[in-house]
């Protein structure tokens, strides 16, 4: 019974905030700010969804740019995921299978990049992007996001490649495959569940990133997390519109997770065992 109770508590802890987000998105502002709060809206409405999706006369500036922000997030997160999967696969395979001088030191250096706080490097990054004329561009966000997503993906994918027996690669190389050919034709198909899980993780990290996007973008390339924070009126923050934007912004990661659920489960369990 204790296990079931813990499962229920974890489920509520995970799902309850999202349920409240949905409730807030269909409430009116007076109900949302009432004390005690209304857990079930008395007058549910989809007005905020209509304003964001279809626009209107009284639509705020943030709502008008919402679709553009969705496109920016898809472009940046998708590009970062694709590039990091390609480079991360080759790099993690090299660290797993090859033995070369400085391998351990290089791995520790890659890991050390994850220990540097974002606030400690934002000024140098901003100066570099300004000198390269990459502020408020997709390429600037792409390079910045890749710098912290790629090291993480290398470490994660190394665990998946270690589960694949090296004898399979040796057999492929005896049949005439080069090392790169064995990677593409043998190793990557076997590691597909792990690659899918890692790719979705990278997409979610890039999709949800807020701090760098807030500093490095101004108008044209604002991503969803930045735009959602700007929902406000002359009377203060518009929490209903923020909640609506949050619900819509959460749909792509949820759809990806449900679509590739089978691969995610295999990937999460496969990377924990060394073959």
Q: 136-173: per-residue pLDDT in tens?
A: 999 999 999 999 899 988 888 888 888 888 888 888 88
Q: Which CATH number fits domain 66-270: 1.10.287.130, 3.40.50.2000, 1.10.3720.10, 1.10.238.10?
A: 1.10.3720.10
pLDDT of residue 185: 84
pLDDT value of position 140: 93
pTM: 0.84
- Please spell the DSSP secondary structure of 85-132, one letter per residue: HHHHHHHHHHHHH---TTHHHHHHHHHHGGGS-HHHHHHHHHHHHHHT
Nearest to 73 by CA among 181, 204, 162, 189: 204
The pLDDT assigned to 132 comes to: 93
β partners of residue 237: 232
Contact 194, 267 (CB under 8 A): yes
Q: Report residues of the chain scoring pLDDT below 70.
A: 56-58, 233-236, 263-275
């Amino acid at each position: 019974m204790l296990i079931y109770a813990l499962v229920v508590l974890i489920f509520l802890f995970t799902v309850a905030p999202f349920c409240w987000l949905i409730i807030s998105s269909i409430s009116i502002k007076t109900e949302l700010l009432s004390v005690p709060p209304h857990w079930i809206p008395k007058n549910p409405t989809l007005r905020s969804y209509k304003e964001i999706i279809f626009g209107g006369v009284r639509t705020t500036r943030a709502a008008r740019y919402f679709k553009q922000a969705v496109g920016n997030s898809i472009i940046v997160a998708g590009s970062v995921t694709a590039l990091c999967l390609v480079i991360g696969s080759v790099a993690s395979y090299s660290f797993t299978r090859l033995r070369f001088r400085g391998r351990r030191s290089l791995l520790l250096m890659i890991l050390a990049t994850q220990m540097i706080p974002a606030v400690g490097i934002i000024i140098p990054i901003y100066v570099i992007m300004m000198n390269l004329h990459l502020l408020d561009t997709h390429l600037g966000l792409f390079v910045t996001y890749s710098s912290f997503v790629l090291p993480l993906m290398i470490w994660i994918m190394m665990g998946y490649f270690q589960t694949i027996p090296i004898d399979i690669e040796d057999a492929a190389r005896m049949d005439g495959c080069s090392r790169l050919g064995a990677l593409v034709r043998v190793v990557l198909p076997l590691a597909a569940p792990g690659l899918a899980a890692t790719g979705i993780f990278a997409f979610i990290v890039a999709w949800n990133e807020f701090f760098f996007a807030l500093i490095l973008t101004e108008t044209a390339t604002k991503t969803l997390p930045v735009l959602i924070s700007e929902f406000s009126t002359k009377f203060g923050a518009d929490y209903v519109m923020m909640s609506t934007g949050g619900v819509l912004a959460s749909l792509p990661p949820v759809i990806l997770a449900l679509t590739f659920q089978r691969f995610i489960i295999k990937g999460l369990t496969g990377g924990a065992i060394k073959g």
